[in-house]
Every structure is written in structure tokens, then in C-alpha cells.
Amino acid sequence: PGAAARTVPTHSFFSLTNAHIMAAVSSVRLAAPARVASVALRARDASAARRVVALPSRSSTSSRRSARRMTIAAASKNYNITLLPGDGIGPEIMAVAKTCLVEVGSQHDIAFDFTEALVGGAAIDATGIPLPPETLATCQASDAVLLAAIGGYKWDTLPAEQRPEQGLLGLRAGLGVFANLRPANILPQLIDASSLKREVVEGTDIMVIRELIGGIYFGKPKGFGVDDAGNKTGFNTMIYSVPEIERIARVGFETAKKRSNRLCSVEKSNVLEVSQLWKEVVTRIGAEEYPDVELSHMYVDNAAMQIIRAPTQFDTIVTGNIFGDILSDAASMLTGSIGMLPSAAVGSDGPGLFEPVHGSAPDIAGTDKANPLAQGLSA
């Protein structure tokens, strides 16, 4: 979910230089909730005021299983960043993002210690599993994790539990990043790339807050069975607990406070019991803790229509895992392409996970056609 290989290629519309990406970074407003500590990387004082040339170091163990490291030393702040290039176009757009980080660091006296690790299809090829324990441990020990893309046709025939996407789900769960922040705002240079009319999308600035490690993607029981008539069945469980809803609701309200003080909670409470609980808890949190934030509720089917009909009516949206997955992809097309947007996944503590919304586009991998904008913005 959220990492399918067959998403819109990132080369849509035109290629961008690093300068374009860095200019775009300054114009994108990805407001982070104050209560989510992992959005802000933890700065650490460097041991000495120094600068060294970036040099890769080699491990004595197998290069397939070990992480590759590159250090840029600076004077005032130091961050450990785990890089997960993944599959398809991932390695080539990650190279651009790393260049951007190094350039920004050189201008702001920031040091980076980059560690590259395996995930997804690349990890399956090297180790037989989509998320090696050493990769998760490296990510957990870092200040932030930058992921490119995972998946591809090569691994589509594997059993579901062994596919690259399971590495992404395991990574999210292992880092405890329960809040996915997906902005959809129009860069002035790209407004005519949208499939909608300029007068409809102009001024669009939406932040979708998606619950990321609960709901139907993680709920149990799930699997296959046989009904009373002997027909094969497939089933999943959409389940949320009160604490899970409370914490994502607070992220939504905190984010709304930093923007326009308006929050729309999206669910399907006219049909689903889990959504009835969602609406009840979000309403209570709003009344008790955020009375100054304007809270509205909308059914997910209506929200999907309204995002296309009149996107500027929305500011901050909070919703569950599967609804957020769908709505944020729909909102991405307001901007012209899913390949243009970054995202952040954060938890109550520990490192955040930053990645583009698009997939691995294996059909253009290695051709240098991929647009790295979303990866650069994620960095």
C-alpha cells in the first residue's frame, strides 16, 4: 500500500535540476505538529569545528549485507541519516536528494553521517527478506530515515508476505511512525500541469494526516477461508482502538493550529462501526483539548468528490489508513502528478521516515528520466 511499482512515473512533465528542487523546498509548507517530536531532527554538537571531504568507507563484511557509509563533517550540528534507495528509480533519485542535503548542510554548517541500507526488492535479492534486521536496527539508531521507492515487476510473483511492500509496512511498524503527513499544494510553476482548470486548483494547500500503522492494513484476523457454500473467501479486519485514534487526532489538531485552524475528519460512520468510534473520539478530543480549532466531519466518498470539485475548501484532513492512502493519492493529482509530492511519517519519538509519494517506476529505472522533485522535497 502506498508503494506500488506502477504509479505515475516521476518524469512527468519535465526534468528538474538541483537548483529547481532547492527553490521548491523553500516554497513548500509541510507544517509538522509540535507534539510529534520526531519531525524535528535532534541536533547534536559536533566534537570539533572541522570539515572533511566526503569519502565512502568499506566494510570487511559482504557488501550485499552491510550498509555503506559516507560522512560530511561540519561545525555546529550533526545528524545521522539512513538512506534507503530501494528499487527501480530509487537509487538515481536518492543520489539527487543526497546532493541537495550536502549542499544545504554546507550553507548552514550542518554535518551529515549517511548510512545506506537495503530494503524491499534489493533486500530480497541480497538477503531473501524485504526488511533485514540490520536495516531496521540502523534506521532505529538514526536521526531520520530517507526512503526512495520499493517494489517492481520482478517480485510480483512472490507470496504476498514476501513481497517488497512488506518491508515498507515492517519499517513503519518498527519505527512506530503512526502519523503520515502528505501535503498537496500547488507550486506556481506547475499549476498548468494539473489535470484540473487553473481556477479550480489555484490556491490549493491541503495537508492530509493519515494514520499509518493501524486500520485494515494491519488489523487481524486476515487471510483466506471457505464459506458455508464451499467458496473461497478473502478477509481483512479494519480495527482501531481509542488510544490509536486519540494520538492521530492530536496530530491533526496540532497541525491545523499551525495552519488555518481548520480540521476535517474523514470517515464512514454512516456504515462502519470503526468509523463511528473514530468520529466519537475525534469529536471528544476536539471539544476537550482544542476548542479553538474548527472541526468538521465528512464521509470518505463525499471527501473524494469534494477534493476534485473544490479542493481549496480543505486545509487539514485527518483520517484512517486506507482512506488516507486513497485520498492523498487523489489530492496529489491536483498538483499535476503524484511524482511531485513528498511525505513524512512520524511517531511520538524516534526517527521519522521521509519518502516521496510515488512508486519505483521500474519501466524507466536506469534511464535518467525520473523527476527527483518529490525525493528532493522529502529530503
- Catalytic residue numbers, as ranges: 217, 268, 301, 325, 329
Q: How far apart are CA 214 and CA 295, in angstroms?
A: 23
197, with CB counted inside 10 A (0-12, 13-18, 19+), is exposed
The torsion angle over the Cα atoms of residues 240, 176, 373 and 77, rounded to 10 degrees, is: 150
DSSP codes, 218-264: T-SS-EEEE-TTS-EEEE------HHHHHHHHHHHHHHHHHTTSEEE
Break the chain down into helix, strand, coil percent, rounded to 5.
Answer: 40, 20, 40
Helix (H) or strand (E) run with residue 90 in it: helix 90-108
Helix-then-strand count for the chain, H and E: 11, 14
Measure the CA–CA gap between 83 and 236, rounded to whole angstroms.
32
AA letter at 111: A
**CA pair distance 276, 121, nearest whole angstrom:** 38
- Count of C-beta atoms within a 10 Å radius of residue 301: 13
Residues 296 and 306: their CA atoms lie apart, in Å, by 14
- Single out the residue of 23, 114, 19 nearest to residue 71, CA to CA: 114
- What length does the chain have? 379
Q: Give the span between the Cα atoms of 117 and 82, in whole angstroms.
A: 7
